[in-house]
Structure 1
Amino acid sequence: MIILKRTVVFLTVITLITSCDYDDSTALNTIDTTSNNGQVTAFLTTPDQNSLVQELPDKFEFSTEVRSDLVITIDENDIRQEVEGFGAALTGSSAFLLNNNQEALNTLFAQDQLNLSYLRLTVGSSDFTKIGNYSYNETGGAPDPTLSLFSLEQDMIDDNPIIPVAQQILGIDSEIKFMSSPWSAPAWMKSNNSLENGFLLASNYSVYARYWEMYLEGYKNAGIEIDAITPQNEPLFATDDYPTMFMSAQMQATFIGQHLGPRLAANTSISPKIISYDHNFFVGEDPDYPTTVLSNPLAAQYTNAVAYHAYGGQPSDIDAFRDVYPDAEIYFTEQSGIRTGNTTFGGELNFFLKNVFIGTLRRGAKAILLWNLALDENSGPTNGGCDICTGVIEVSSSGAIRKNPEFYILSHFSKFVQPGAVVINSTQVEGQLLNVAFKNPDGSKVLVLYNDSGLSGQDIRVDIEMNGQRFNYAVPNGSLTTFTWD
């Protein structure tokens, strides 16, 4: 991962859920027994952390009464994209901390807790692993075109138990989805014979496609079926600090269209979706990267999906691509929280909701994945990368578990939005009330609402309307609220 321009960060100390001093007068509940909509339950998180995904004591009822000129209208018949899930990355570092830690695993995956549903795996080492650099076919520099030394053993050892922990997670939720991304091809396949920096030699495109196939088969044999892959994490960023690999848009288009796509399509035992790009909203070196890949006629036979990170640019950068490819599938695949002395909980709410969750879900994102599931109190174990990053949870050397801001933000989505839900149209109130609405497979509805007014102490009263009926709510300044109803 890379950290570019993050201007908001969060508190070092995160409190656990406390009682909420909720003023009943902020909810004007009007009861209409002829309501076609169900009773509404609300869950609130405030920037002062006095409420953290806490259920409000009062229920809301829809009625025909108009209580505010400011209205968010939801149209459950105006259906957008299907949502596949919410989650983060099971890096080697996260796996080390979560291995056989049932309390931490339940905190993240149990249905009555965070209930994550989608995970990203690293193919070989990344900047977060305890065991340093590795791939599944290291030879000391000698070519191995038959991949005779290929082995997934490094993903099963105690210091890097990615496969065992993935299996433990499947024991909690057998429906969990996995996607996989590499930081580098094996060193001998690259221009500089190193896992760091360099690029994949064109002469090794075919053998690297076979390497991918063996990885997917090996994970499936371990009971872990990979639903989607990206050919390269952050393909326009290469460094000598940890495993990385440059892959231009044309390189990626050629690799997908002539090698990886045909290889995987010919294997009926595996069928992962290929997602292109997997980098920031905007990268100055090649802002047209996604368009270049999908406009390649051979690559377009095997991919119609693009993945984004939020370390550079902003969600609106997706708009130009969507203007050209309105039917392309959008995924959000990485963003880390960070810890510095200038951080605030409210600042993290603001950044993640605007740039990651609401900003991308309203632009077609089918999944939202953050970076590490878990890190320790020292932002590690690390492998040469970010030393101020945080996981969704912190698992300290003493075994204590702390929930970071990402945990609570994810909760507002993952606990209420079911895999297979669809985004439904809702009117946006820019600069005041950012929101996104969903309809679950069971017919229940979810609205996630964030007060982005930036005016200290100012609540915003709004009518939320669906099917010609409304309920009224005063949204606390800087707060995040999830509403659910049948």
Structure 2
Amino acid sequence: MHLRCVAIVAIVLWVGLSESGTPCNSRRFNHDSVVCVCDENFCDTLDPIEPTARGLLNVYESDRAGKRLEKREVQFGNDLPGPIFWNVNLERTERFQEIIGFGGSWSDAAAIGLDRLSPDLRTKVLRSYYSTEGIEYSTARVVISGCDFSNRPYTYDDVTNDWELNNWSLVEEDVNMKIPQMHEAVRHAGKPIKFMGSSWSPPAWMKNNGELNHGGQLIGNAGSYEWKQYARYLLKFFQAYRAAGIDFWGMTVQNEPMTGWDPWFPWNTCGFNAEMERDFAKLDLGPIMEEGGFAPGNFSIMVLDHNRPLALDWAITVFSDAEASRYVAGLAVHWYFYGTAGPYQVYDNIHTRFPDKFILGTEACNRNEIDGDHIGLGLWYLAEDYAHDILLNLLHWVGGWTDWNLVLDDEGGPNWVGNTHSAPIIVNPGAGEFYKNTQFYAMAHFSKFLPPGSIRIGASPGVEEEGTVELGAFERPDGGTVIIVINSSDMEQYFNLNDADLGVVKVKVDPHAFSTWVYYR
């Protein structure tokens, strides 16, 4: 048995969070684990990560039994009863990718869910995600006009044949919800957030099927007037947000472009293949974004924004073209069908071929598929699925992982086509509370401890793609060392961590637990 290298989840209980923040107000909803409940009077918090005394290691653990980021201190040179299953050696000279960040997404559903909360509860949600007393998200994906997680189908210009875009305008969800909420998130973060935009569909009249859904592609071809006007349609979004005080770090060319070739696809989409995205980027989108003030080096255009089996073809097609490559900074990937989508080593191949291009996870969500209760409050496997995928992505040159909806309501929406799902936070405005679901703490074990600029370093034992025990090691920009362990087995696991300067520390990880270790030399 071998270890798999990376980072993983977190969760909280009334008895948890030893000497760290305020504990979780736990509640069980007929599933195998708990949620943490926040209301007007109480919400669990975390302390900022501070350097430890030399020889001291902080362990943060969450598990199926109910611990949520419970903190304990362990001394190097300790003697812990129990067998040693794993001897872990750090290889600090082996340095891999830099962390870009972790975060969630402002869909209309998320914006509406936040808007329906009281100002105090909304602040608690945003602080839980973006502040140092929360899990310190550093990225956010923002939907450009509508998607399935909207309460209606629409775009920013639904006046037929308005190719000059005279009727283009933001909508209520942008002006009254997303923009104020994003400003508040930035205030709580106290540092820049990497906002990235993604479009699901152009206006229906720009497509050859005349619909937002049911597949369809842009009228015309790369370099045509129609494609240039669609690029200007997208540019207007970034300019409008900039005028409102929100600057974007990047964008994806198209959300899940291969769904646009399915004539039965039920929600907003537009079809591109790799060659079309390559040509759109170099002939239309890239130059027009640059002319509009969003130039390479200051603004990151990403291609694909779809699942792993497509990644290598997309990378070769786009990055091998010098003109397209000048405008395209990286590859955006989604997690769907991660268990059957082929080996994660494809990202190693892409990095080897194109080491100057980053890879970033840009969407993931799941739901309870057991009993039809899609939001699955307290369902542990929802968290384990997140953690495993984040782990394997980070172990194979992916620089971060952005979740889908920041919040959803207690029915898993709104969603205009009924495609309801779970989310890390579920809001219940009628009860005056919201619930931090298990996925929230899965995200926390990465986002809280791995700020942008962290570097993955080598750790042995090596990587097993389908193991029940996984481990990864990182160095923070402030010099801290972070070890993240996933134990999805039914047994306690014992580790000897060997540090060349500090010696050996023995750490126990409980069954079905995520454990993050932090220390400074």
TM-score range, shorter chain: 0.7 to 0.9
Deviation, 1:443, is 1.0
**Map of 1:368-407 to 2, 5 A cutoff?**
368-387=401-420, 389-398=421-430, 399-407=432-440
Report the counterpart of residue 186 of structure 1 in structure 2.
203
1:176 to 2:193 alignment: yes
Determine the C-alpha separation between the residues in 2 that align with 1:446 and 1:119: 23
Determine the C-alpha separation between the residues in 2 that align with 1:296 and 1:365: 22
Q: Is the contact between residue 137 and residue 186 of structure 1 (CA under 8 Å) also seen in structure 2?
A: yes
Determine the C-alpha separation between the residues in 2 that align with 1:439 and 1:11: 38
**Map of 1:217-236 to 2, 5 A cutoff?**
217-236=239-258
Report the counterpart of residue 171 of structure 2 in structure 1.
153
Report the counterpart of residue 448 of structure 1 in structure 2.
484
Cα 1:269/1:350, change in 2 over 3 Å: closer
1:324 to 2:353 alignment: yes
Deviation, 1:429, is 5.0
Report the counterpart of residue 60 of structure 1 in structure 2.
75
Q: Is the contact between residue 337 and residue 406 of structure 1 (CA under 8 Å) also seen in structure 2?
A: no
Q: Is the contact between residue 200 and residue 269 of structure 2 (CA under 8 Å) also seen in structure 1?
A: yes
Deviation, 1:437, is 1.8
1:338 to 2:367 alignment: yes
Stretches (4+) displaced over 6 A: none
Cα 1:348/1:144, change in 2 over 3 Å: same
**CA distances 1:158-201 after superposition (whole Å, capped 9, x unpaired):** 5xx22221122122124222011100112222111222221112
Q: Give the letter aligned to residue 59 of structure 1.
A: V
Deviation, 1:290, is 2.9
Q: Give the letter aligned to residue 289 of structure 2.
A: L
Using the size of structure 1 for normalisation, the TM-score is: 0.85
Report the counterpart of residue 306 of structure 1 in structure 2.
331
Q: Which moved more, 1:169-178 or 1:319-328?
A: 319-328
Gaps of 5+ in 1: 1-9, 19-34
Report the counterpart of residue 31 of structure 1 in structure 2.
none
Report the counterpart of residue 289 of structure 2 in structure 1.
264
**CA distances 1:263-301 after superposition (whole Å, capped 9, x unpaired):** 222344664201110101125xx8623322222332112
Identity of aligned residues (%): 25
Report the counterpart of residue 136 of structure 1 in structure 2.
156
**CA distances 1:281-336 after superposition (whole Å, capped 9, x unpaired):** 125xx862332222233211211411111112153443443343344311001110
Q: Which moved more, 1:94-103 or 1:81-90?
A: 94-103
1:163 to 2:175 alignment: no
Report the counterpart of residue 25 of structure 1 in structure 2.
none
Report the counterpart of residue 11 of structure 2 in structure 1.
none
Aligned-pair Cα RMSD in Å: 2.6
Deviation, 1:245, is 1.0
Deviation, 1:36, is 11
Deviation, 1:396, is 1.3
Report the counterpart of residue 29 of structure 1 in structure 2.
none
Report the counterpart of residue 39 of structure 1 in structure 2.
56
Q: Which moved more, 1:39-48 or 1:397-406?
A: 397-406
Determine the C-alpha separation between the residues in 1 that align with 2:443 and 2:483: 14
Determine the C-alpha separation between the residues in 2 that align with 1:36 and 1:326: 37
2:399 is aligned, of 366, 372, 383, to 366
Deviation, 1:339, is 2.1
1:124 to 2:137 alignment: no
Deviation, 1:146, is 2.0
Gaps of 5+ in 2: 1-27, 38-51
Deviation, 1:241, is 1.9
Cα 1:368/1:12, change in 2 over 3 Å: farther
Deviation, 1:64, is 12
Deviation, 1:87, is 0.8
Determine the C-alpha separation between the residues in 1 that align with 2:308 and 2:381: 20
Determine the C-alpha separation between the residues in 2 that align with 1:209 and 1:104: 34
Report the counterpart of residue 279 of structure 1 in structure 2.
306
